[in-house]
Amino acid sequence: MAAGLATRSRTGHLVDLFRDRIMFPIHHLDGHPIAFLGRAAPSAAPDVPKYLNTPDTAIYHKGQTLYGAGEQADPIASGAAPVLVEGPIDVLAIALAFPDGSRVAVAACGTSLTANHAAAITTMPGAARHGITAALDNDDPGCKATYRAWQVLSAHPGIDLYAATLPDHTDPGDLISSPLDVDLLRVALTEDARPLAKAVIDIRLNAITARHPDLLRWPEGRITVARTLASLIASLPVDQVVALTGHIADCTHTGFDTVADAVLTHLGRSPPATTELAKLGGNRHPRSFLPPTTPTTGPAARSTAPTDRPSSRRRR
């Protein structure tokens, strides 16, 4: 019981915690096994948790340990690009899709991503060189996990963050059944990857419109949504803010100026910073990023911001 392999029933009998599960040992960075992950069998009932892991013990703390880090210490040390996934099957899928070790996946075990997890991922040698890609399911739990990943990873400046573009309701573990699926997984993590902040904007927008389906029908609602989404990007580097400002404007059918004004309101930016944002926005006049002195009429101009796809330099 101290090792977290069994629990007691109400009658006092010992019960195997991982019965009828596929087992994955979790290794410390020194290579020693310290805990286990158990995946439910395919025949398990729908209400059975997909994964169970060892509870915290004297040698294992789930809020600090990433599955895949101890198991793939060599490629990580060699600078492989880190990928954040949900579970051990996904970690194995990434290893199969990239047998050259150019990408390695890690997964939080039995908990949402913590600040300690984020510190471990962002300090991997490949994170600064290639960025970090989140490859999580786009169902409700996966969207929440993606949003959480962005919250904790974006607290570490200087690391490019991407989101894999996976087919609906799939994760990497679903894409290793055939060579075509493996190719699809590779593309989802490379050519089709997009900035994680852009994925988070879409997740937040979908959540808002799911609760308020008619909100974008009215100008006031569109402006309210644009201001809400602007708060997500205000603290990002200026070049990213410009591209994402255009994305928010397109999604909410508002003007680029409206979103840029909301971003600056969140930041309390001074005119010099506004000038910098204007230069990156495609030779727009700096005054267009300041709060208007009179109400504007007509559609605002769209941004000509640079593409937000990851550069080939970042995707080696």
Quick: pLDDT tens for 15-45: 888 888 999 999 999 989 999 999 988 888 9
Q: Is the pLDDT of residue 296 over 70?
A: no
The mean pLDDT value for 289-306 works out to 37
Single pTM value for the model: 0.79
The residue among 136, 31, 143, 25 whose CA lies nearest residue 76 is: 31
Question: Residue 122 — pLDDT band, cuts 50, 70, 90?
Answer: very high
Q: What is the pLDDT of residue 311?
A: 45
Contact 37, 17 (CB under 8 A): no
- Strand 132-134 relative to strand 33-40: parallel, antiparallel, unpaired? unpaired
Task: Read off the amino acid at residue 308.
Answer: D
Look at 298 and 175; give whichever has higher pLDDT. 175
β strands within 81-174, DSSP E: 81-85, 103-108, 132-134, 161-163
Q: What is the pLDDT of residues 280-293, one digit of tens each?
A: 444 333 333 333 33
Q: Could you give the CA distance from residue 127 to residue 292 in angstroms, rounded to a whole number? A: 41
Q: What is the pLDDT of residues 131-186, one digit of tens each?
A: 999 999 878 888 999 999 999 999 998 899 999 999 888 889 989 888 889 999 99
Q: What is the pLDDT of residue 51?
A: 86
Give the CATH number of domain 66-196; options: 3.40.1360.10, 3.30.70.1450, 3.40.50.300, 3.40.190.10: 3.40.1360.10
The number of residues in the chain equals 316
Q: Could you give the CA distance from residue 93 to residue 61 in angstroms, rounded to a whole number? A: 25
Q: Is the pLDDT of residue 316 over 70?
A: no
Q: What is the pLDDT of residue 190?
A: 94
H or E element, residue 296: none
The mean pLDDT value for 244-256 works out to 94
What are the structural domain ranges in the chain?
6-53, 66-196, 198-289
